[in-house]
Amino acid sequence: MSLEALIQAIVNLAGGPAGKNFALIGTLGAGKTHLVRSLIQALEPELLQDVASPSFNIFHRYEGKKIEIHHFDLYRLEAVEELEEIEIYESLDNVKALTLIEWPDQFDEIVNMCDYKVHVQVNEKGKRDYLVEGFDERV
Protein backbone atom coordinates (compact mmCIF):
# COMPACT_ATOMS: atom_id res chain seq x y z
CA MET A 1 0.00 0.00 0.00
CA SER A 2 1.25 3.50 -0.76
CA LEU A 3 1.67 6.20 1.89
CA GLU A 4 -1.15 8.21 0.34
CA ALA A 5 -3.54 5.23 0.43
CA LEU A 6 -2.61 4.47 4.03
CA ILE A 7 -3.13 8.07 5.16
CA GLN A 8 -6.50 8.19 3.39
CA ALA A 9 -7.55 4.89 4.99
CA ILE A 10 -6.65 6.15 8.47
CA VAL A 11 -8.39 9.49 7.97
CA ASN A 12 -11.51 7.68 6.73
CA LEU A 13 -11.68 4.99 9.42
CA ALA A 14 -15.23 4.26 10.53
CA GLY A 15 -15.85 6.47 13.54
CA GLY A 16 -12.69 8.47 12.77
CA PRO A 17 -9.13 7.88 13.93
CA ALA A 18 -9.64 9.06 17.54
CA GLY A 19 -9.38 6.17 19.97
CA LYS A 20 -7.38 4.05 17.53
CA ASN A 21 -3.91 2.69 18.29
CA PHE A 22 -1.27 2.02 15.65
CA ALA A 23 1.91 -0.04 16.07
CA LEU A 24 4.49 1.27 13.59
CA ILE A 25 6.96 -1.51 12.88
CA GLY A 26 10.07 -1.20 10.74
CA THR A 27 13.82 -0.98 10.76
CA LEU A 28 15.79 2.13 11.63
CA GLY A 29 15.28 4.67 8.86
CA ALA A 30 12.37 2.81 7.25
CA GLY A 31 10.10 5.85 7.53
CA LYS A 32 7.99 5.48 10.66
CA THR A 33 8.38 9.13 11.68
CA HIS A 34 7.80 10.19 8.06
CA LEU A 35 4.48 8.33 8.23
CA VAL A 36 3.57 10.17 11.44
CA ARG A 37 4.42 13.56 9.90
CA SER A 38 2.35 12.76 6.81
CA LEU A 39 -0.60 11.66 8.91
CA ILE A 40 -0.46 14.78 11.10
CA GLN A 41 -0.26 16.92 7.96
CA ALA A 42 -3.48 15.29 6.72
CA LEU A 43 -5.29 15.55 10.07
CA GLU A 44 -3.97 18.74 11.65
CA PRO A 45 -1.74 20.67 9.19
CA GLU A 46 -1.16 23.54 11.63
CA LEU A 47 0.75 21.12 13.91
CA LEU A 48 3.21 19.95 11.25
CA GLN A 49 6.01 22.34 12.22
CA ASP A 50 6.02 20.84 15.73
CA VAL A 51 6.39 17.19 14.63
CA ALA A 52 9.72 15.59 15.49
CA SER A 53 10.91 12.11 16.23
CA PRO A 54 10.31 11.36 19.91
CA SER A 55 13.46 9.21 20.09
CA PHE A 56 14.99 11.29 22.88
CA ASN A 57 11.80 12.48 24.60
CA ILE A 58 10.06 9.11 24.08
CA PHE A 59 6.62 10.77 23.89
CA HIS A 60 5.07 13.76 22.11
CA ARG A 61 1.49 14.96 22.51
CA TYR A 62 -0.02 17.04 19.71
CA GLU A 63 -3.30 18.76 20.47
CA GLY A 64 -5.07 19.80 17.30
CA LYS A 65 -8.43 21.40 16.72
CA LYS A 66 -10.03 18.10 15.67
CA ILE A 67 -7.96 15.39 17.34
CA GLU A 68 -5.27 14.76 19.93
CA ILE A 69 -2.33 12.70 18.66
CA HIS A 70 0.05 10.77 20.93
CA HIS A 71 3.37 9.73 19.36
CA PHE A 72 5.63 7.31 21.23
CA ASP A 73 9.07 5.94 20.38
CA LEU A 74 9.97 2.91 22.50
CA TYR A 75 13.41 2.37 20.94
CA ARG A 76 15.39 3.31 24.05
CA LEU A 77 13.16 1.55 26.57
CA GLU A 78 14.45 -1.68 28.02
CA ALA A 79 11.98 -2.78 30.68
CA VAL A 80 8.23 -3.17 30.89
CA GLU A 81 8.25 -1.01 34.04
CA GLU A 82 9.32 1.97 31.94
CA LEU A 83 6.06 1.78 29.98
CA GLU A 84 4.08 2.83 33.03
CA GLU A 85 6.36 5.80 33.60
CA ILE A 86 5.57 7.22 30.15
CA GLU A 87 1.81 6.65 30.64
CA ILE A 88 1.45 4.61 27.47
CA TYR A 89 -1.39 2.53 28.91
CA GLU A 90 -3.45 5.67 29.53
CA SER A 91 -2.87 6.71 25.94
CA LEU A 92 -3.89 3.31 24.59
CA ASP A 93 -7.16 3.62 26.55
CA ASN A 94 -7.82 7.24 25.54
CA VAL A 95 -10.85 7.33 23.23
CA LYS A 96 -10.11 10.94 22.25
CA ALA A 97 -6.54 10.36 21.06
CA LEU A 98 -4.95 8.73 18.04
CA THR A 99 -1.95 6.82 19.40
CA LEU A 100 1.03 6.08 17.15
CA ILE A 101 3.83 3.91 18.57
CA GLU A 102 7.24 3.44 16.97
CA TRP A 103 9.27 0.39 18.00
CA PRO A 104 6.38 -1.32 19.82
CA ASP A 105 7.67 -4.76 18.82
CA GLN A 106 10.08 -4.63 21.76
CA PHE A 107 7.03 -5.24 23.97
CA ASP A 108 4.57 -7.90 22.76
CA GLU A 109 1.91 -6.61 25.15
CA ILE A 110 1.95 -3.18 23.47
CA VAL A 111 1.73 -4.64 19.97
CA ASN A 112 -1.23 -6.78 21.08
CA MET A 113 -3.00 -3.71 22.49
CA CYS A 114 -2.83 -1.90 19.14
CA ASP A 115 -5.78 -2.00 16.77
CA TYR A 116 -3.55 -1.84 13.70
CA LYS A 117 -0.02 -2.96 12.92
CA VAL A 118 1.70 -1.00 10.15
CA HIS A 119 4.84 -2.64 8.78
CA VAL A 120 7.01 -0.05 7.04
CA GLN A 121 9.47 -1.57 4.57
CA VAL A 122 11.81 -0.21 1.96
CA ASN A 123 11.45 -2.27 -1.23
CA GLU A 124 14.12 -3.21 -3.77
CA LYS A 125 13.45 0.03 -5.68
CA GLY A 126 14.15 2.08 -2.57
CA LYS A 127 10.49 3.05 -2.10
CA ARG A 128 8.47 2.51 1.05
CA ASP A 129 5.75 -0.10 1.26
CA TYR A 130 3.15 -0.08 4.03
CA LEU A 131 1.58 -3.40 5.01
CA VAL A 132 -1.30 -3.09 7.45
CA GLU A 133 -2.76 -5.70 9.77
CA GLY A 134 -6.16 -4.93 11.23
CA PHE A 135 -7.97 -3.07 8.48
CA ASP A 136 -11.41 -4.54 7.92
CA GLU A 137 -12.38 -1.79 5.52
CA ARG A 138 -11.31 -2.02 1.89
CA VAL A 139 -8.38 0.31 1.25
Q: 29: domain range?
A: 3-133
Under DSSP, is residue 99 helix (H, G, I), strand (E, B) or coil?
strand
CA nearest neighbour of 72 among 38, 45, 44, 105 = 105
Q: Establish if 35 belongs to a structural domain.
A: yes
* Rg of the chain in Å (alpha carbons): 14
For 62-115, the pLDDT digits (tens) are 888 889 999 999 998 989 899 988 999 999 999 999 999 999 999 999 999 999
Report the pLDDT value the prediction gives residue 52, as an integer from 0 to 100: 60
What is the rounded distance in angstroms from the CA atom of residue 41 to the CA atom of residue 58? 21
Residue 52, domain member (yes or no): yes
C-alpha distance from residue 100 to each of 58, 111, 125, 126 (Å): 12, 11, 27, 24
Residues 10-61: tens digit of each pLDDT? 999 888 899 999 999 998 888 898 999 999 989 988 776 656 665 556 888 8
In a domain, 139, yes or no: no
Number of domains in the chain: 1
Q: Going along the chain, which residue ranges are E strands? A: 21-25, 59-63, 68-73, 97-102, 116-122, 128-133
With respect to residue 44, please indicate whether it lies within any of the assigned structural domains: yes
Is 138 inside a domain boundary?
Answer: no
In CATH, what number is assigned to the domain containing residue 62? Answer: 3.40.50.300
pLDDT score recorded for residue 139: 42
pLDDT on residue 4:
93
Residue 91 located in a structural domain: yes
